[in-house]
Amino acid sequence: MTPGIEHFLTVGALLFCLGLAISLSKRNAIGVLMGVELMLNAVNLTLITFSRFAASPNPVSGHTFVVFILTVAAAEAAVALALAVAVYRNRETIDVDRLNLLRS
């Protein structure tokens, strides 16, 4: 049996849900970041899937989109890790539960 569009999409959806669950539940900021990365890649997978299977007049656009997201994700990871380091230097913790200074 050849895997069809529904298989790819299911995997993408599962990955996205996993990523969401991780980023909402992890206390460690690095863990939250990893969850975010997972969600981004789940989206990438979904885009590629549609680009491959849907009768799009311009199939390249899906691929292009993915490449852009990868680039942005890399930049985001760099910025976020730098933030994590900066926060740790200031607060000596990267536990997101304790980073609640904006509380009313």
Task: List contacts with another protein (CB under 8 A).
Answer: 20, 23-25, 32, 96-97, 99-104
Tokens in use for 11?
Answer: 């995997």
Q: Which is nearer to another protein, 69 or 87 (CB)?
A: 87
Q: Determine phi and psi for 102, rounding to 5 degrees.
A: -85, 10
Q: Which is nearer to another protein, 92 or 97 (CB)?
A: 97
CB of 58 to another protein, least distance (A): 27
CB of 102 to another protein, least distance (A): 4
| Tokens 């200074």 belong to residue | 101
State in Å, rounded, how far the first CA of the chain is from the last one: 56
CB of 21 to another protein, least distance (A): 9
Mention every residue, 6+ apart, whose C-beta is less than 8 A from residue 3.
Answer: none
